[in-house]
Chain A
Amino acid sequence: MTTSERIGALDVARIRRDFPILDRKVYGQPLVYFDNAATSQKPRQVIEALTHYYETSNANIHRAVHLLGEEATAEYEGVREKVSRFINAPSPECIVFTRNTSESINLVAYAWGRANVSAGDEIVVTVMEHHSNFVPWQQLAQETGAKLVVIGVKEDQTLDLDDGLSSYLSERTKIVAITHANNTVGTINPVKELAAEAHRAGALVLVDAAQSVPHMPVDVQDLDCDFLAFSAHKMLGPTGVGVLYARRELLAEMPPFLTGGEMISKVTIDETTWNGIPAKFEAGTPNIADVVAFGAAIDYLSDLGMQNVREHEKEITEYALRRLKQLESITIYGPEDIDVHGGVISFNYPGVHPHDVGTIVDRQGVAIRSGHGCNQPLMRSLDISGVARASFYVYNTAAEVDVFIDALGDVGDRFNG
């Protein structure tokens, strides 16, 4: 069998050669990078796109009459089109570039929220939200006197929807803000069904897709959500670029979030009229170079095929779950059903703090995350302070899972041996 033969969902050997960082060693061991839910590594195509932009077409965008400005604008706007196609948005106008998922959600909570939510209204979130999709709504509720309604989880950390989403909705519900895939326990939520139910009740739906767009096919028109937010850096792209998708009518109605350069139509001493969408929401010089490099990340993922990415992660996650279950007395969180479990596994050793787990495997070259994972409400509901978390991506292999499991054996030996 030749190594270039493509056997599974992804040609991982070929993919790995695109990631320079996978060549480095950590404490003398080959790096096993299992902290992908925090941020992914970058292929050289993305790194080169960034350098290439600075070396060949760097200029400020939109208002320059010179060639470089024209090229930079075309590249930046070209990526907006790529993003739009990648999530099947109806138009590139529906794509706003921000710094990250948190900023995308804050944009909605401030610009849409302050204009549309008032005392007595209700905002529905879930207890498994990342702080980035929890705190902005909690603050909006506190500021406006709206009520924050929190959907809980069942024992397997799927949402407690036994009585339907409608049991959390009322005629005062203005928005349902929900994560597509959770970042610690890995639960994939039925956002399409939830969006339909929320819409029937007259509420809007925001989807935190930071952990789904990088890992599975996402189609905003199929989900029929009103807002969707994600980050470039979790999907092979550079840090400092976030995306907000919003329905065109909503963006057109919403007041701006930040004001200043680029987002105006006309400014006089007395008043300002806003630019059209999406420019109205991109005040100041944006992160042009990183947006351009993000385009290379989208190309890379599109070439792999998002369904293949999901299949590969499913395979690795299933294998890792099977190996972890063989370890004595370990607690594994998240749903059993792999169809609703993303490429993220959280676990705990009884009597061993996740930071100790993280330190021990780190010294064997394995990078995992330890702690609350920006999921403190969920951790509290599970009555734990944190978890150890392994999260996978396109370049990870079962051989790496084996290294990780061996490294974990050392945790048991040291603490319970």
Chain B
Amino acid sequence: MCLSTRLVTWAIVSTDDRRRMSSDKAEYKRQETELDELYQEIILDHYRNPRHKGRLSAPTASEEGYNPLCGDEIILDVEVTDGVVSDIAQRGSGCSISQSSASMMTEVIVGEPIADVKGLIASFTAMMRGSDDDLEELGDLEAMAGVRKFPVRVKCATLAWHTLSQALEKAKSS
């Protein structure tokens, strides 16, 4: 291919087009900040070093959560002893948000009574729907609030929690 042909795609931008193609610097900054809030260090840390990864040898209940749109997958093993979530393991694959949300969730619910865990599920899903009422109760999980600015990713953040809710239902009936 000759050099003049190579140049075509660079040479085609007219003054009109340049004006049209100008970028909004303030908006760019704002988007960068939103991305910073989405990909916080704590979230990336849980993504890279997932907690409670693996499986339990004798779970009270197991549940699989799947998001067919993105292919995110979470499998939870839950052990319930005397009304308390005594152990949990999670495995699966997916984006940083779905995987870190699962990892963070396992850290906060081990050792908690089921009633409290259910309250936490409600608070977390309320936060993801936009509520700021229970932020204090959620502690580190508040980091996930940044996902709310990315509506298509909210379901990634809630996948583990919906799966947990179903696993606890199963555990109750088993």
Contact = CB atoms under 8 A, between A and B. Distances in A.
B8 A8 contact: yes
Question: Which among B4, B23, B150 has the greatest number of chain A C-beta atoms within 10 A?
Answer: B23
A364 interface: yes
A46 interface: no
Interface string A396-417: 0111000000000010001100
Interface string A1-14: 10101011111110
Contact of A28 (B26, B35, B39, B156): B26
Interface string B55-97: 0000000000000011100000000000000000000011111
Contacts of A364: 28, 31
Contacts of A13: 12-14, 17
A355 B35 contact: no
B153 A359 contact: yes
B32 to A, nearest CB: 8
Q: Is chain B's interface secondary structure helix, strand, loop, or mixed overall? A: helix
Interface in A260-307: none
Contacts of B32: 363
A341 to B, nearest CB: 15
Interface residues of B, number: 41
A30 interface: yes
A414 B31 CA distance: 14
Interface in A336-363: 351-356, 359-360, 363
B126 to A, nearest CB: 23
Contacts of A28: 23-24, 26-28, 30-31
A319 B9 CA distance: 10
A360 B153 CA distance: 12
A355 B70 contact: yes
Contact of A27 (B20, B22, B27): B27
B24 A398 contact: no
Given A12-B12, A13-B14, A30-B21, A7 B31 contact: no
- Pick from B6, B12, B21, B26 the residue with the most CB of A within 10 Å: B12
A359 B38 contact: yes
Interface in A39-58: none
B7 A7 contact: yes
A385 interface: yes
B174 interface: no
Contacts of B173: none
Contacts of A27: 27-28, 31
B61 to A, nearest CB: 25
Contacts of B5: 7-9, 315
Nearest to B20: A23
Contacts of B35: 359-360, 363, 410, 414
A7 B150 CA distance: 41
Nearest to B15: A3
A29 interface: yes
B8 A7 contact: yes
Interface of A: 1, 3, 5, 7-13, 16, 22-23, 25, 27-30, 315-316, 319, 351-356, 359-360, 363-365, 370-372, 385-386, 397-399, 410, 414-415
Given A8-B4, A29-B27, A315-B5, 17 more contacts: A7-B4, A8-B8, A12-B9, A23-B20, A27-B28, A28-B31, A29-B23, A29-B24, A315-B1, A319-B9, A356-B96, A359-B153, A363-B31, A363-B35, A371-B69, A399-B21, A415-B44
